[in-house]
Each structure stands twice: as C-alpha cells, then as structure tokens.
Amino acid sequence: MKISVVGAGSWGSAIAWMLGEKGLNVSLWARNAELIQAMNSEHRNTRYLTDLKFSPTVSATNDLSVCLENTEAVVLVTPSSVVAGMAEQIAPLFDSRVPLVLLSKGVEGVSGSLLLDVLGEKLGSPERLAVLSGPNHAEEVAKGIPSATVVASISEDTARTFQQLFATQSFRVYTSNDVVGVQLNGAAKNIFAIACGLASGLGFGDNTAAMLMTRGLAEISRLVIKLGGDPITCMGLAGMGDLIATCYSPHSRNRSFGLELAAGGSLEAYQERTHMVVEGALACKTVTDLAKVHGVEMPISMVMRSIVWDKLSTDEAIALLLERSFKPEFY
C-alpha cells in the first residue's frame, strides 16, 4: 500500500516514520534537496527530527507527480498558508476517489474559509476528505510515546479509513463528524499558546496560564457554536487536549515564540532561527477576522493579534484585558 505524505516538516516526518514502521510504502514530498538525499541514502531527515531512523520503505522526492502516482491515500501536512496553493497543484495528479487527510491547522487567510472547505472546492469529492488534530507533538509521536488524536470527516467511512491507517499500539485514533469544531480548535488554540508563553516569560504563574487557557477555550467554543460545530468537541482531544499540550509543552513552537516575544524578540527572527512556521501568529489574524465576520467576542485573541502584528506593548495588553467589565463566566 502506497501512502503519499505531502510536507516534510516535523509533523510530516513523524507521520511518515510512523507509517513506515507499519510496513507501508511512504512517498514523502519535500523541497529541500539535502533532506531528500539524506532520506533516500541514510534514511534520516537532516532538518527535522534529526535523530530519527526511517524505515527503508520511506522515500523522499521533490516531484509531486512521483509522490502521488498510484497512491492509495494522501496526507497533506504543509503550513496552513499554502494549503490552497498546494491543493491546486495536486488536484490533477491523483484519482478523485483517493481519500485525503489534512494535518495542517489554520484558517485560510484570503477567503476566511476553513481549510477542508478550501480543499473541497479545489479537489472536489468532499466526502473523501478528513482532518486530523489533537495533542500530538511530533517529537513524542516519533518516540512511540503514548498519544491520541481525532480524525473528523463528514463521511464515517473516510474517518474510519484514516483511523485504521494511523492507529498503532501507542497512537490511539478516535473519529468524529464535527469537522467544524475540530478545525477551529486546532487553529485557535495556537493563539493561546503564544499568550501562555508570553505570560510565562513575563514572570506570571500557573494561575495566569490557567486563566488564559480556560478563557481561551470559552472564546473558541463561542466561535465553534456560531459556525455550527459541536461544543462538546472543545472538551475533547482536538480542544482541551491540544490546548493543554500546546500551552504547556516545551515542544510547542507557539509557546516558545511567546517566550521570545516576552524577551523582545520578533516573529521574523524566531522563524529564521527555528526554520518553523508559527501557525499561531497567522491565526491571530485569520481567526479574529472570522470572529469579526460572525460577531463573536474574542478579547484575548484580539489583544494577541495587536501584540504580534501591531506592536502593542505588553503593559497596554494587560491593562486592556484586566480592565474589561465583569460578565457571567459563560455567555
């Protein structure tokens, strides 16, 4: 069975490794020539998860047509900002009946659409599309540390297909039909991870982190409900589970970016140094734009947008949040 993994960052590499360990033939698409050469000759990724040894059944290529030829399933794991463009490139290269699962987390910046909606428009056959999300740091999944995730699709058959494809003894996979809730939680939680990193860097404690996480989850749930998702999803793996992992883990690039902001660093410098995209920075724009369109109040998200993109000072940000009028906890 051939599986195509489009994207060779940390998460794409971890997934390719995991599928290879199951004995599947994996074609991994990457841009970096050095990475491709090392993967095919030494079975290592020289850029991400560099200590990981891949199965010989995993090969790399920079040719999308080679990657997708005769594939039986596609795993798309690129930065959210390029999902739409990538969908246009891959659309003519594989059969329209082949299932595809999205591992990217975000909202499309130009249209404000959820990414599965974008893929449905570009690829057709939305019933063969799914999204995977959960508390899944690549560094831990690639070590076989017990983890769990959720796969959501409008088609139960598609969700079960990817459940069976990804499930291992240490990687538990659950299914859902709430594609809206799973996607919004995956996109928005990164905003609050930046906020928690920033708060920690400024010397605040666990009380502040707990406040940011729970009030952040309230913001996410309001948006999920407004867009027709199931609020219970916010309490599951794609919601609270991913929020906890992203806000507290040392593996979280969004949290570590928040720490860098507290020290006076910039988004550009952080991404240049780490070779990683900070999805939460883009989400500060795309998620709050979506909230504005639908009239959903997301005060922490809006303040984080101003800090990341408009150079709002942390003192001003703290004042804006702490001086808000008092409300019922849930509204």
- Coil/strand/helix, residue 124: coil
Radius of gyration for the alpha carbons in the chain, expressed in angstroms and rounded: 19
Catalytic residue among 22, 143, 189, 285: 189
143 flagged as catalytic: no
> Please, are residues 317 and 141 in contact by the beta-carbon 8 Å criterion?
no
Query: Which two three-digit tokens encode residue 125?
Result: 């056959």
Element (H, E) at 300: helix 299-310
CA-based nearest residue to 171, from 148, 142, 143, 151: 148
> Please, are residues 219 and 294 in contact by the beta-carbon 8 Å criterion?
no
Give dist(CA 46, CA 43) in Å, integer: 10
In 172-278, which residue ranges form alpha helices assigned H by DSSP?
Answer: 179-201, 206-226, 242-248, 253-262, 267-274
Element (H, E) at 315: helix 314-322
Task: Name the residues annotated as catalytic.
Answer: 189
